[in-house]
Chain A
Amino acid sequence: MSAHSVTRRDILKTLAMGAVGGSVLQVIPAKAAEFVHQAVRKEKAASPAGKYAPKYFSAHQYETLNLLCDAIIPKDDHSGGAVEAGAPEFIDLLTSENEKYQLRLGGGLVWLDSFCADRYAKSFVECAPEQRKEVLDLIAYRKNAKKDAALSQGVAFFAFLRKMTCDGFYTSKIGIADLQYIGNTSLREFPGCPPVPEHG
């Protein structure tokens, strides 16, 4: 079966099911995640501007999503961040085929904007970087929701998005290289086991 005979929808649905299950035994094959990254790459290559067009999120939501993904996994000395690695595209494409994700992420983004509106009279995107950090420091930890129940939906949303961002990042070329994964490459000859380091 070639990648072309499996519909994009089939794979996106499979991926979403696996991710929802969350248990180690239900982990979806890395191939399916690679398919999603590949679909994004193909779309970018085919578009005149070299851009991906969001399938589910509005332009404003997508901008917010980009900021959040960048905050969750930023660029550092080792590698590029989640945005460069294509996490927002990965999340958008999966969400476009999954109603539960649509509710959790779409609803969560609205929650975030209304939280920012109450606090700073601005949307998350319009907030100053320090204000965004203040908000993230509140919703990135469960203990804050225990102290203040008004944060619990935000904490749940952020936990889900953090998981999705990790999935998108660590299945991308950049994320895989970041972990220094070198498997799945053929050895022309087997030079023997590497030497065993002295045990201290």
Chain B
Amino acid sequence: MPHVGMFDGLCHREEGYGAALKQRARKVYGTTIGFSGRGEMIPNPDTYCEIDPDVVDQWGIPVLRFHFKWTDYELRQAQDMQQTFRAIVEAAGGEYRTKTRIDGPYPFGIQAGGKIIHEVGTARMGADPKTSVLNGYCQAHDVKNLFVTDGAPLVTNPDKNPTLTIMALSWRASEYLLAEAQKGNL
């Protein structure tokens, strides 16, 4: 639908005024499409949060501090998306006009970390207590009567909405919790 800012690019490229500008706007309207890709982030050792040694919040509680880095796993997904977008556009007889660069801070158009995300992870599940916080039932390795059933157990940041996965995991955790409680293990 026609909206504010729609012809900013046209005005910038073509400049001028009058009937020619109007005609050009009519000609280019509806001839462009945009793509937005979603990928899955694999955790890496350079991406974590920790308690900030210096900063506290208004209640005097130390705040979290975040460290973040993309790796080749994510960059290659972004590269693949660009290639796929280009192939789609060109197969349809269009012209690929991306302005994204292959280097710089946002290679292949990848966004800054945290810009488009679902908040999941940080208390990942896994078999090995050395590399995970929870077991497969969302139960803490260290504290047997602690279950974490929100988005925190997820081990990667998936490209899809995580709510159904969170519900499935917490369903399984609940059944396990009930069974363990009935056995008197908790």
Which residues of A come within 8 Å of B, CB atoms?
A: 15, 18-19, 22, 24, 26-30, 32-33, 71-74, 76, 78, 136, 140-142, 158-159, 162-163, 166-167, 170-171, 175-176, 178-179, 181, 183-184
Contacts and interface: CB of A to CB of B under 8 A. Distances in A.
Interface hub of A166, A178, A183 (most chain B Cβ within 10 A)? A166
Contacts of A162: 11, 15, 17, 21
5 contacts: A27-B6, A71-B18, A73-B17, A74-B19, A162-B15
A158 B17 CA distance: 10
A89 to B, nearest CB: 15
Contact of A18 (B5, B15, B29): B5
B179 interface: no
List 10 A-B pairs, minimum CB-CB distance, nearest first.
Answer: A166-B7, A167-B4, A170-B2, A72-B17, A30-B3, A179-B29, A141-B15, A27-B5, A176-B2, A140-B17
How extensive is the interface on chain B, given as a class? Answer: 20 to 34
Interface of B: 1-8, 11-12, 15-19, 21-23, 25-26, 29-30, 34
Nearest to A177: B2
B4 A181 contact: no
A175 B5 contact: no
A28 B23 CA distance: 24
